[in-house]
Amino acid sequence: MSQSQKSDLKLLDATMEKYAGVDGSLITILQKAQDIYGYLPEDVMRYISERTGIAPAKVMGVATFYTQFRFKPVGKYLIMLCKGTACHVNGANSIEKALNEELGISDGETTDDGLFSIKCVACLGCCSLSPVMMINGDTYGSLTPDKAKKIIRELREAAE
């Protein structure tokens, strides 16, 4: 990240006032920061370090350890594709391939227009609906490659 990019750190002040002095609250602070900014920008991570007195390396170490944290902005539609055992056995790889073809991106990437991001996850807990994906909290199950592509096309049309 370039030094010129600046986040509005005041958005995090209430969280920092509540948790900065509380032992064991780093994960909570990081979660709240990600809720506010959509991801964890570098300047926000430095600010968290300064306000909590936790070394920058430790803040980054905690943030990179947990897969829930993101370091790049995500698209308007965050697609979480389940790659758990049930989904894998029932065709998650063909769903991933269909999404990659339809969107022109792979796991962890965002479309150039900023509409879609794909994140493969270990399990969404919807095994009876496998293969399954979740988009912004909405669950889509019993997927086929064609059904997955149709969902993406409908979302794209709705965004226009």
CATH number at residue 88: 3.40.30.10
pLDDT in tens, 85-104: 999 999 999 999 999 999 99
pTM metric for this prediction: 0.72
Average pLDDT, the chain: 93
Residues 97 and 155 in one domain: yes
Q: Is residue 135 part of a domain?
A: yes
pLDDT in tens, 100-124: 999 999 999 999 999 999 999 999 9
Phi-psi region of 108 (alpha: psi -120 to 50; beta: other; left: phi over 0): left
Q: Is residue 125 part of a domain?
A: yes
Domain that holds residue 47: 9-65
Residues 101 and 146 in one domain: yes
Residues 38 and 85 in one domain: no
State the average pLDDT over residues 26-41. 95
pLDDT in tens, 112-157: 999 999 999 999 999 999 999 999 989 999 999 999 999 999 999 9
Q: Which residue has the tokens 């509005």?
A: 8
The residues with which 78 forms a beta bridge, in sequence order, are 117
Number of compact structural domains in the chain = 2
**What count of other Cβ atoms lies within 10 Å of the Cβ of residue 31?**
15
CATH value at residue 17: 1.10.10
What gap in Å lies between CA 18 and CA 138, rounded to an integer?
A: 31
